[in-house]
Homo-oligomer: A and B are copies of this chain.
Amino acid sequence: MSEEKQKKLEKSNESTVLIGKKPIMNYVIACLTFFNSGAKKVMIKARGRAISRAVDTVELLRRAFIKDLQLQDITIGTEEVTRSNGQKTNVSIIEITVTRP
Contact = CB atoms under 8 A, between A and B. Distances in A.
B96 A76 contact: yes
Contact of A52 (B49, B63, B75, B96): B49
Contacts of A63: 78, 90
A55 B51 contact: yes
A75 B55 CA distance: 10
Copies in the complex: 2
Given A52-B50, A52-B92, A76 B74 contact: yes
Nearest to A62: B78
Given A48-B52, A51-B52, A52-B50, A76 B59 contact: yes
Contact of A59 (B50, B52, B78): B78
A56 interface: yes
A58 interface: yes
A59 B92 contact: yes
A18 to B, nearest CB: 15
A92 B78 CA distance: 22
